[in-house]
Amino acid sequence: DSGVTQTPKHLITATGQRVTLRCSPRSGDLSVYWYQQSLDQGLQFLIQYYNGEERAKGNILERFSAQQFPDLHSELNLSSLELGDSALYFCASSPQRLAGHNEQFFGPGTRLTVL
Amino acid sequence: SQKIEQNSEALNIQEGKTATLTCNYTNYSPAYLQWYRQDPGRGPVFLLLIRENEKEKRKERLKVTFDTTLKQSLFHITASQPADSATYLCALPGNQFYFGTGTSLTVIP
């Protein structure tokens, strides 16, 4: 158990809908990262927050947004969903601001299926 | 931006042998390089971090090398066991965080 929790575990929805994925980092970790993993794309970095502020941005679509709250939990909002958004979404946390300087602890993931 | 290449083909080895996985990157050399293990349907698990000024890092049966001239890292598992069967990912920091597509390793009893 990494100490990172993600809810829900599974989500099935229809095209055009909006969903919210939730992540609680390990106790004491200030950085939260979001990743998308699909079969043909591998693990793709979406966005990082550090202590409530956006720290780094990857190839995140404009239909996607995220935020980190004062209690350090984070939410990833996906809107106008398309079939191609079906994937595993992982959240990870680490103590520090700079990615790569220390390990990231990954949650169990949310499997999103868009029908 | 950074492009990472790992052995695209699955690697099958006999139990007890040494598995060697390759990670090549194409652009700037990062200050750190990490290796993760991922089991099907689960989140990656951190294994090792190596800094650019470290040529080699060991942890139990694992060994990682980092050659900034070749822009390559090698990941070795010695005395491999069936429980080592998984996908292994290398990861590099940059203006974002880049993961390779991973190499699937199967250790045959």
Mark which residues 27-56 of A lie under 8 Å from B by CB: 33, 35, 42-45, 48, 56
Does pLDDT of B50 surpass 90? yes
pLDDT given for residue A99 in this prediction: 59
Q: Are A2 and A91 contacting, i.e. CB atoms less than 8 angstroms apart?
A: no
Give residue-wise pLDDT tens across range A87-100. Answer: 999 999 998 766 56
Q: How far is CA B25 from CA A29, B4, B34, in A?
A: 29, 4, 13
Does pLDDT of B94 surpass 80? no
pLDDT given for residue A100 in this prediction: 61
Mark which residues 87-106 of A lie under 8 Å from B by CB: 88, 90, 92, 98-106
Indicate the range of A52-61, A106-115, B88-97 predicted with least confidence.
B88-97
Give the nearest partner residue to B34 out of A35, A58, A100, using CB atoms.
A100
pLDDT given for residue A91 in this prediction: 97
Give the nearest partner residue to A101 out of B32, B92, B98, using CB atoms.
B32
Q: Give CA–CA dist A37/A40, Å, rounded.
A: 8
Residues 6+ apart with CB under 8 A from A31: A25, A48, A49, A50, A51, A55, A93, A94, A95, A96, A97, A99
Q: Give CA–CA dist A33/A59, Å, rounded.
A: 13
Give residue-wise pLDDT tens across range A1-58. Answer: 889 999 999 999 999 999 999 999 999 999 999 999 998 778 999 999 999 999 999 9
Of the pLDDT bands very low, low, confident and very high (cuts 50, 70, 90), residue B61 is very high
How many alpha carbons lie under 13 Å from residue B2 in its C-beta half-sphere?
A: 26
Q: Which residue has the tokens 């941005």?
A: A57
**Mean pLDDT confidence for B59-82:** 95
